[in-house]
Each structure stands twice: as structure tokens, then as C-alpha cells.
């Protein structure tokens, strides 16, 4: 009792209809209801308390989630802020999840391919006691339950084979094979904090933190089983500040698979990404901007998920990735050190360039930052297929996410020179070749020997043409090298062989030229 409290005010606040405040007086053996000393304890039978509906509130939703008010009503898409009442059925599709908050602040995260029916969502007036009961018909849930505020508080999840009841804890529950592979898989309860009472038709068991229990149809729950240890994250291979990214970890003995989740760091019941993999790595393509938490746990053969490894990271959506210029998507290049070009994004001061053999960039061949809008890899690229991508870094050192990975190909195949029979006129010979990009120059070498050990001519020109005065007759070898506007010298093109007539044959005839086609 507090100063100013009266039996009739307390009765109006807490007692259900039909229970008069005088019964409360008799139950507590109060002689004078007009003189209630402050600090006096007042007892209320639970059966007398007023019970009110307490709908759950959707605090986060990802993907396609539907709710059905009854079995006969059509489903509607779940949205953030929606209220879900008693008797409703919530269903999540592939890659979808929803997080619900109950009247006492407890939270339920329903993961993908799951179905939950809410059998009881009520509160006992303003006492703070809440009765939450549900059936997980399939799939997985993660639960963070506020410690109970009174003897009538309940938080119960029933699966086809077992019932998990708590009074304040953090635990996970799955019904059968949540991933749809093994139809004979058992229901599982995994306790991370607090204690969970797991009961079935033939018994019950108390599960403590770091342990779990499984139960099959018609069988007693197993004795507590220790959860597998947390996988050791490979820090060097887990770079999540730039997306898409790959997370890697060491294998856990006894694990048959791994579950990877990303949640909000300030609200771990809000699921942003989830995946079940058998390898020890996973690719994460996209996440919203903000501070996130990566969770990785091993899955044992009995279906129990283990302890979580956790890594906090921040995803930046600014500055935006640059627009790419060249090479374009799928372009075939004939230079082992091609030039990559891009535009400058707003607020960007530097650009990070990555080149890899695979589109996931698990092991980049090149990873460099430059201040300009173009760059070449330091090492030559062997012939084959590659991908490249870029990201921007601003003046504060903050780096944004990578843009799309673009494929390209390095080819070492010789290019058909397309030589035409040379013709001579006025004592000179003109050689021409295919024009390259603006700003490029060309180095021409001509030699009697195929290895160019003895040069007749070596000259750098600004235009794709060179004129020779009265060269000697016979066989000559010609090759051309492209020099980029940044000074990069590409490999020489294929050697081309030409046969020239004798000097006396230059006396007349039409103007002549040799056309050399190069891979520029």
C-alpha cells in the first residue's frame, strides 16, 4: 500500500468483473478499510485478476511474411508496427523473418520458412504479468524473454514433440528440420541464458545455459546435451565493412553444417541476413547501413545449434561507389596490365580497386587504392577470366560499399594482322595499322631477323602510320607496340612478315601501303 491507496481503487484497477473489493478486504483480513497503513502488503488471488488482451507488435520484418487472423481468413502481408492478436497464424517465406514484441517487452524472432500460432496473448491488468503461449508448427525461433514479474507470468513455446517454458531467458527453439531436408528430424531447444523447462509426453528436463535438448514424437526429451563450441572466425578473411563480402571461420569438430546470421547490434532480435551452409564461408551481398553483428554457429548431427561467434561491424552506404568506365562488362583485353577507369563519386577522395578470379573476391589478385580515376595492376594478369570492382573512400577515411563486380577476359591469343601485298611508289613504302584510343602513341620496329636482334628501324610516332624510304628488297619483320597516355608500354603485337621487291622496282607504280591490324 502507498499513501492515498484505497481498497475500492485497487479493486477497480486490478479485479475482474464480478469480484467486489469487499472480497479483497476479507481475503487480506482487513478490519478497517479506511485506515490502510502505507507499506502494508496486499495479496491478490490470481484467479481474481482482470485479464486483458495484449496484442504482439511487429518491430521488424524482412521479406515475405503473412499473418492470418483465423484459419478461414485470407493472409495479409505483415508490416512494421502491425498488431497481432490471439489465434493469429504467422508464416514466413524463404529468406524472410519477423520480430515481435510482447506486452512485457519480451521479443520473439521468427526465422525463415516458419509457422507460429499464437494461442494466448494477454496481460493481468497493470500488474506487469503477461501470459504468452504459442505453437511453433515448423521452422525456427529465437527468444529473448524479460524476467517474470509475478507468479502468473508465462512464456511457453510448444512444438509438435515438446514444450519449452521459461520465466526469463535467451533461448532458441526449432520444430523438426527447419531447413526442410530431414523430415524425421527432432524438435530442439538451445539455451543461451537462464533456464528452460523442456517437457514432452513422457517426461521433462531442465536445460541450463550452454546445453540443449531434443525430442521426437511420443518420446521423452533427451537429457541436456552440451552445445558445440563457437567457431573461430578467420579475422583476416572476414572483412564486412565493404559489401558484398565473405565471412570465413575454422571448422568445428562434430559439425554437419553452420548457420550464419546478421542482426542489428542494438537490437539482436532484428534479423537482417541468415543462411545455412555446409562450407566454412558464406557470401553476404547486401545489408542496410548501420552497426551490425555477425553470428556464426555450428549445427550438430542431432540438429542442435551451438554457441555463437560474434563480430560487430559497421556498414557504410556513403560514399557511393564510382561509376565504371572501362573495361566494360565482358570485354576481352589483350594487355596483361590493362587500365581500369572510373568516374569520381561525390565526396570521394580515393578509390579502392579489386581484381579477382572469382566474383565473390575471396582471394583478390589485386587490391589497391589510388587518388586518381585510373589505375593498372602492379602484376601482369595471366590469360583467363577475371572480375573487377571499385569502392570510394572519403576524406574522413570512411569507405563505402563496392559496386557490382564486372567480368572481363585477358587473352594472349595472336591477332590476325590482315596483311595486304605491299606496293611501292616514288621510292618509298608506307605502313599503316589500326588506330588505337585517343592519346596513344606507337613504337615501330623493323628487322631482317625474326628475333629483332638487328633493327633496321625503331621509331615512336603519334599517328598509326610510318613511311620508309627505299628499303631493301626481301623479307622483313615488323611489330608495333602501343604506348598509353600514362606512359604504360603494352606488349608488342604479333610479328608480321612482309616481302618487298628489289629497289629497282620502286621506280613506278601506284601508291602502296601495308595494313597492320593490332589488338589495341
- Asked if 71 and 211 sit in the same domain, the reply is yes
- Asked if residue 237 belongs to a domain, the reply is no
Band (503; pLDDT cuts 50, 70, 90):
low
Q: Would you say the C-alpha torsion 483, 489, 494, 498 has a positive or negative sign?
A: positive
Per-residue model confidence (pLDDT) at position 421:
47
Whole-Å CA distances, 108 to 141, 173, 253, 269: 7, 11, 30, 7
Which of 379, 410, 441 is the endpoint of a domain? 410
2 in a structural domain:
no
Q: Three-class SS of residue 447? A: strand
Q: Are residues 211 and 199 in the same domain?
A: yes
Q: What is the pLDDT of residue 177?
A: 64
281 phi/psi in degrees, rounded to 5: -155, 160
Same domain, 32 and 95: no
Span 420-453, pLDDT tens digits: 444 455 566 778 777 777 888 889 888 888 889 8
In a domain, residue 175? The reply is: yes
Domain of 479: which CATH number? 2.60.40.10
Task: Specify the pLDDT at position 309.
Answer: 94
Residue 256, strand partner residues: none
**419 pLDDT higher than 80:** no
Residue 59 and residue 41 share a domain? no
pLDDT(470) > 80: no
CA dihedral 73, 77, 83, 88 (to 10 degrees): 40
- Note whether 95 and 200 are same-domain residues: yes
Model confidence at 484, in pLDDT bands (50, 70, 90)? confident
pLDDT band at 512 (very low <50, low <70, confident <90, very high): very low
Last residue within a domain, chosen from 315, 344, 375: 315
pLDDT at 149 > cutoff 90: no
61 with 179, same domain: the answer is: yes
Cell numbers for 341: 577507369
Residue 419, domain member (yes or no): no
Residue ranges with strand state E in 17-85: 51-53, 56-62, 65-68, 76-77, 83-84
381 inside domain: yes
Question: How much is the pLDDT for 508?
Answer: 44
Q: Are 108 and 100 in contact (CB under 8 A)?
A: yes
Q: Per residue in 316-347, pLDDT tens?
A: 778 888 888 889 888 998 889 999 999 888 88
List pLDDT tens digits, range 280-300. 999 888 888 888 999 999 999
CA distances from 516 to 345, 476, 484, 520 (A): 40, 14, 19, 12
Is residue 200 a contact partner of residue 217, using CB atoms and an 8 Å limit? no
Q: What is the pLDDT of residues 111-145, one digit of tens each?
A: 999 999 999 999 987 788 899 999 999 999 999 99
235 found inside a domain: no
Instruction: Tell me: do 472 and 489 sit in the same domain.
Output: yes
For 81-109, the pLDDT digits (tens) are: 999 999 999 999 999 999 999 999 999 99
Question: Which pLDDT band, with edges at 50, 70 and 90, does 78 fall under?
Answer: very high
State residue 238's pLDDT score. 56
**Looking at the structure, do residues 354 and 496 belong to the same domain, yes or no?**
no
Q: Which residue has the higher pLDDT, 71 or 44?
A: 44
Give Dmax over CA atoms of the chain in angstroms. Answer: 141
Residue 40: inside a domain, yes or no?
A: yes
User: Grid coordinates representing 19?
Assistant: 469480484
3-state secondary structure of 47: helix
- Regarding whether 210 and 308 lie in a shared domain, the answer is no
Query: Which residue range forms the structural domain that includes residue 458?
Result: 428-516
Rg (CA), the chain: 37
Average pLDDT, the chain: 85
Q: Is the pLDDT of residue 481 over 50?
A: yes
The number of domains in the chain is: 5
Specify whether 186 is located in the same domain as 254: no
43, 61: one domain: no
Q: Are residues 213 and 67 in the same domain?
A: yes
Q: Is the pLDDT of residue 418 over 80?
A: no
- Of 357, 384, 410, the last residue of a domain is 410
Q: Does the residue 236 lie in any domain?
A: no
Amino acid at each position: 500500500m502507498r499513501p492515498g491507496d484505497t481498497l475500492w481503487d485497487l479493486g477497480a484497477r486490478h479485479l475482474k468483473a464480478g469480484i467486489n473489493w469487499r472480497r479483497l478486504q476479507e481475503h487480506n483480513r482487513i478490519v478497517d478499510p479506511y485506515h490502510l497503513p502505507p507499506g502494508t502488503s496486499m495479496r491478490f488471488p490470481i484467479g481474481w485478476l482482470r485479464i486483458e488482451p495484449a496484442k504482439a507488435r511487429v518491430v521488424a520484418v524482412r521479406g515475405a511474411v503473412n499473418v492470418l487472423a483465423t484459419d478461414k481468413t485470407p493472409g495479409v502481408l505483415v508490416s512494421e508496427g502491425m498488431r497481432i492478436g490471439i489465434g493469429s497464424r504467422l508464416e514466413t517465406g524463404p529468406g524472410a523473418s519477423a520480430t515481435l514484441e510482447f506486452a512485457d517487452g519480451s521479443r520473439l524472432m521468427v526465422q525463415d520458412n516458419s509457422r507460429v500460432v499464437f494461442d494466448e496473448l494477454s496481460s493481468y491488468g497493470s500488474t506487469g504479468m503477461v501470459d504468452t503461449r504459442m505453437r511453433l508448427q515448423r521452422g525456427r525461433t529465437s527468444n529473448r524473454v524479460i524476467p517474470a514479474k509475478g507468479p502468473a507470468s508465462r512464456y511457453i513455446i510448444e512444438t509438435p514433440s515438446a514444450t519449452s517454458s521459461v520465466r526469463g531467458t535467451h533461448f532458441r527453439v526449432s520444430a523438426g528440420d527447419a531447413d526442410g531436408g530431414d523430415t524425421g528430424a527432432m524438435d530442439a531447444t538451445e539455451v543461451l541464458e537462464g533456464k528452460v523447462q523442456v517437457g514432452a509426453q513422457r517426461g521433462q528436463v531442465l536445460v541450463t545455459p550452454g546445453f540443449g535438448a531434443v525430442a521426437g514424437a511420443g518420446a521423452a526429451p533427451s537429457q541436456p546435451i552440451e552445445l558445440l563450441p563457437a567457431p573461430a572466425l578467420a579475422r583476416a578473411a572476414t572483412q564486412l565493412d565493404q559489401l558484398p563480402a565473405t565471412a570465413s571461420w575454422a571448422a568445428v569438430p562434430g559439425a554437419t553444417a553452420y548457420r550464419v546470421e546478421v542482426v542489428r547490434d542494438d537490437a539482436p532480435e532484428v534479423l537482417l541476413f541468415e543462411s545455412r551452409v555446409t562450407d566454412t564461408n558464406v557470401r553476404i551481398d547486401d545489408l542496410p547501413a548501420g552497426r551490425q553483428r555477425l553470428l556464426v554457429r555450428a549445427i550438430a548431427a542431432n540438429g542442435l545449434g551451438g554457441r555463437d561467434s560474434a563480430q560487430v561491424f559497421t556498414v557504410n552506404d556513403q560514399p557511393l561507389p564510382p561509376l565504371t568506365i572501362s573495361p566494360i562488362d565482358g570485354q576481352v583485353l589483350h594487355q596483361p596490365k590493362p587500365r581500369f577507369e572510373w568516374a569520381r563519386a561525390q565526396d570521394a577522395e580515393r578509390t579502392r580497386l579489386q581484381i579477382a578470379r572469382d566474383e565473390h573476391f575471396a582471394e583478390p589478385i589485386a587490391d589497391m587504392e589510388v587518388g586518381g580515376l585510373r589505375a593498372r595492376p602492379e602484376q601482369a594478369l595471366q590469360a583467363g577470366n577475371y572480375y573487377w570492382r571499385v569502392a570510394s573512400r572519403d576524406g574522413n577515411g570512411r569507405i563505402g560499399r563496392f559496386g557490382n563486380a564486372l567480368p572481363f577476359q585477358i587473352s594472349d591469343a595472336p591477332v590476325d594482322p590482315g596483311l595486304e601485298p605491299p606496293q611501292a611508289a616514288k621510292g618509298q613504302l608506307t605502313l599503316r595499322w589500326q588506330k588505337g584510343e585517343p592519346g596513344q602513341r606507337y613504337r615501330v620496329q623493323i628487322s631482317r631477323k625474326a628475333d629483332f636482334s638487328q633493327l633496321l628501324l625503331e621509331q615512336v610516332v603519334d599517328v598509326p602510320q610510318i613511311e620508309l624510304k627505299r628499303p631493301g628488297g626481301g623479307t622483313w619483320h615488323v611489330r608495333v607496340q602501343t604506348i598509353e597516355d600514362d606512359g604504360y608500354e603494352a606488349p608488342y603485337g604479333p610479328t608480321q612478315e612482309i616481302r618487298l621487291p628489289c629497289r629497282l622496282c620502286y621506280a613506278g607504280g601506284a601508291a602502296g601501303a601495308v595494313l597492320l591490324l593490332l589488338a589495341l
